[in-house]
Amino acid sequence: MTDLAEEISFMQRALTLSHQALPACRPNPPVGCVLVKDGVIVSEGFTQAPGCHHAEAMALAHYDQPLDDVTAYVTLEPCSFVGRTPSCAHTLVEKGIKRVVVATLDPDPRNSGKGIDVLRQAGIAVTLGLCEAEVSAFISPYLLPNNK
Ligand SMILES: Nc1c(N[C@@H]2O[C@H](COP(=O)(O)O)[C@@H](O)[C@H]2O)[nH]c(=O)[nH]c1=O
């Protein structure tokens, strides 16, 4: 079992990665993601330019092993909808991720809790709110309705 200090360090790495998304990701919010297996980060991603990989998709693209023992730490709720890119929540389900840890919800009305629902309804363990204050302080200006 991963202890809390380790979990926080993984989310903080995802937050650090999310800084690299700017400015190319705009107007999308800057998101970071790490994949962890057996207590070790095995892949990383951050939001690319609009129409290109979201953070989760980038991390998944760089890891071609089974995901049944992998936890994803992602700074923003995975998207439940198909926009300019496929749905990250559905992709995580299809690829068989074991667990997803999310820092903060996505207020985009197309998402707004639906990404969490997609994961939970598929039987995936979801932890919501890890490092929420720290992540929100960075990402909030880029989320709807603050995102101009
Ligand atoms: N950047 C980002 C997300 N951003 C969400 O996706 C929306 C844009 O979707 P799209 O048009 O497909 O690029 C954006 O308004 C926000 O709700 N979601 C994620 O799972 N991961 C990411 O890295």
For the stretch 98-112, pLDDT in tens is 999 999 999 999 999
> Domains of the chain: which residue ranges?
4-142
Q: Which residues are registered as beta bridge partners of 104?
A: 76
Instruction: State the architecture of 4-142 in CATH terms.
Output: 3-Layer(aba) Sandwich (3.40)
Q: Which of 31, 79, 117, 148 to mutate to test the pocket of ligand 1 (most atoms within 8 A of CB)?
A: 79
The pTM of this model reads 0.96
Q: Collapsing DSSP states into helix, strand and coil, what is residue 66?
A: coil
Which amino acid residue places its CA nearest to atom 20 of ligand 1? Answer: 78
Chain segment 123-143, per-residue pLDDT in tens? 999 999 999 999 999 999 999
pLDDT, position 59: 98
CB 39 within 8 A of CB 2: yes
How remote is the CA of residue 7 from the centroid of ligand 1, in Å?
Answer: 23
Choosing from 56, 94, 132, 134, which is the catalytic residue?
Answer: 56
Tokens of 65: 């092993």
Per DSSP, the three-state class of 74 is strand
